[in-house]
């Protein structure tokens, strides 16, 4: 069975990674799909978000990472032959949002099931938006909440912008 774990992943957090690790055990293939949420402006490009997730999940053989922009999740899921959508839930705000998306998606694609994984207590308060705030404030504390690949990418970027500044 193929499942899709969609999200903005701007950027991937330890909370997302925890859901990926737990969900991957139940499916032949788990596709982590970087999608476009028109209600959110992103900090990381789609390419960088995909690259980060690929590196952070390289040790899980049945995880594939892709992006799907410019199409509805249900159509992308159909194209990929997925029967299940995986989502993570931390709190009632997530629930409210996911409840609405679930109902819309199941009207659009009745056979497509959504399975929810509750966040582990360690990751209950981790969010991409707070991580972005820490990055904007130049606080290294964000590294407590994300896989190391994000630090690597940001270090590469600041290295190349320093080089560009010098030349």
Question: Smallest distance from the beta carbon of 119 to ligand PNS, in angstroms?
Answer: 13
51-90 binders of ligand PNS (CB under 6 A):
72-73
Counting contacts by CB under 6 A, is residue 21 touching ligand PNS? no
Closer to ligand PNS by Cβ: residue 103 or 160:
103
CA atoms within 13 A on the CB side of 111: 6
Region of 21-29, 32-40, 132-140, 150-158 interacting with ligand PNS (CB under 6 A): 32-40
Residue from 22, 51, 90, 132 carrying the catalytic annotation: 90
Q: Indicate if 40 belongs to the active site.
A: yes
CA quadruple 107, 113, 118, 119: dihedral sign: negative
> Alpha-carbon distance 11 to 46, whole Å?
10
> Alpha-carbon distance 108 to 131, whole Å?
33
Q: Indicate if 16 belongs to the active site.
A: yes
Measured in whole angstroms, the distance separating CA 137 from the mean position of its chain's CA atoms is 22
Closest residue to ligand PNS, based on beta-carbon distance: 35
Written as six digits, the tokens of 55 are 């590196």
Measured in whole angstroms, the distance separating CA 129 from the mean position of its chain's CA atoms is 12
90-129 binders of ligand PNS (CB under 6 A):
101, 104-105
Residues with Cβ within 8 Å of 117's Cβ and at least 6 positions away in sequence, in order, are 19, 22, 23, 86, 87, 88, 89
141-160 binders of ligand PNS (CB under 6 A):
none
Counting contacts by CB under 6 A, is residue 8 touching ligand PNS? yes
Closer to ligand PNS by Cβ: residue 62 or 101:
101
The site for ligand PNS (CB under 6 A) is made up of 6-8, 35-37, 40, 72-73, 101, 104-105
**Which positions are catalytic?**
16, 40, 90, 128
């Amino acid at each position: 069975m193929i499942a899709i774990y969609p999200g903005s992943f701007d950027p991937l957090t330890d909370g997302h990674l925890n859901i990926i690790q737990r969900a991957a055990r139940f499916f032949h293939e788990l596709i982590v799909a970087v999608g476009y949420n028109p209600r959110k402006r992103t900090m990381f490009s789609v390419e960088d978000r995909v690259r980060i997730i690929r590196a952070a999940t390289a040790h899980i053989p049945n995880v594939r990472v892709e992006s799907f922009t410019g199409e509805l999740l249900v159509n992308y899921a159909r194209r990929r032959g997925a029967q299940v959508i995986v989502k993570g839930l931390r709190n009632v705000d997530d629930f409210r949002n996911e409840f609405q998306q679930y109902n819309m998606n199941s009207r659009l694609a009745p056979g497509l099931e959504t399975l929810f994984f509750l966040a582990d207590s360690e990751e209950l308060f981790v969010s991409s938006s707070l991580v972005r705030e820490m990055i904007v404030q130049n606080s290294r504390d964000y590294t407590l909440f994300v896989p190391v690949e994000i630090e690597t990418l940001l270090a590469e970027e600041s290295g190349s912008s320093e080089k560009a500044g010098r030349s």
